[in-house]
Amino acid sequence: MTRRGRRTALAVLASAVALVVGAAYAGAAALRVPPPHDLVRLQAHEPSEQGGDFAARPVVSSGPARPLEAAADAGLPATVPWKGGRITPQEMLDETHTRAFVVLHDGRLVHEWYAEGVDAGTRLSSWSVAKSVVSLLIGQAIERGILSEDDRMTDLLPELRTGDAYDDITVHDLLDMASGIDVSENYNPWWPFTGTARLLLSTDLPGYVAEHREVSFAPGTRGEYRSIDTQMLSMILTRVDGRPLAQIVAEDLWTPMGAEADASWNLDREGGVEKGFCCLNATARDFARLGRLVLDGGRVGDAQVVPEAWIARISTPGELPVDGWGYSAQWWHAPSSDGDVTALGVYGQYVFVAPDARTVIVKLSDHGTEQDELETIDAMRAIADHLAGR
Please provide the DSSP assignment of 294-348 as one string.
HHTTTEETTEESS-HHHHHHHHS--SS-BTTBEEETTEEE-TT-SS-EEEEETTT
Contacting residues for 218 by C-beta, under 8 A, at least 6 apart: 165, 168, 180
Q: Look at residues 337, 364, 322 and name the one whose alpha carbon lies nearest to residue 125.
A: 364
What's the chain's length in residues?
A: 390
Tell me the backbone φ, ψ of residue 314, rounded to 5 degrees.
-75, -20
Q: Answer yes or no: is pLDDT of 30 > 60.
A: no
Q: Look at residues 85, 84, 122, 87 and name the one whose alpha carbon lies nearest to residue 102.
A: 122
Tell me the backbone φ, ψ of residue 89, rounded to 5 degrees.
-55, -40
DSSP category for residue 202: -
pLDDT for 183-224, tens place per residue? 999 877 666 678 999 999 999 999 999 999 999 999 999 999
Burial class (CB in 10 A: 0-12, 13-18, 19+), 351: buried
Name the amino acid, one letter, at 242. G
Contacting residues for 271 by C-beta, under 8 A, at least 6 apart: 55
Average pLDDT score over residue span 131-137: 99
pLDDT score of 34: 57
Q: Answer yes or no: is pLDDT of 251 > 70.
A: yes
pLDDT score of 35: 59
Q: Answer yes or no: is pLDDT of 327 > 70.
A: yes
Average pLDDT score over residue span 88-110: 98
A 10 A CB-CB count for 216 gives 12
pLDDT band at 6 (very low <50, low <70, confident <90, very high): very low
pLDDT score of 33: 62
DSSP E strands, 6-78: 56-59
Name the amino acid, one letter, at 203. T
Q: CA-CA distance, 276 to 233, in Å (whole number)?
A: 8
The gap between the terminal CA atoms of the chain, to the nearest Å, is: 80
Q: Answer yes or no: is pLDDT of 40 > 80.
A: no
Q: CA-CA distance, 157 to 238, in Å (whole number)?
A: 11
Cβ atoms of residues 62 and 250 within 8 Å:
yes
pLDDT score of 45: 79
Q: Which of 254-258, 379-383, 386-390 has the lowest mean pLDDT?
A: 386-390
Q: Look at residues 41, 17, 37, 43 and name the one whose alpha carbon lies nearest to residue 25.
A: 37
Taking the model in full, what pTM does it have? 0.90
pLDDT for 333-385, tens place per residue? 999 888 999 999 999 999 999 999 999 999 999 998 889 999 999 999 999 99
Q: CA-CA distance, 297 to 312, in Å (whole number)?
A: 8
DSSP category for residue 185: -
pLDDT band at 37 (very low <50, low <70, confident <90, very high): low
More confident residue, 190 or 227: 227
Name the amino acid, one letter, at 229. D
Positive or negative, the CA dihedral 190, 193, 199, 205 is positive
Q: How much is the mean pLDDT over the chain?
A: 91
**Does residue 55 sit in helix, strand or coil?**
coil
Q: CA-CA distance, 96 to 275, in Å (whole number)?
A: 26
CA torsion 274-278-284-285 (nearest 10°) is 50
Highest mean pLDDT among 5-14, 270-279, 367-376 belongs to: 270-279
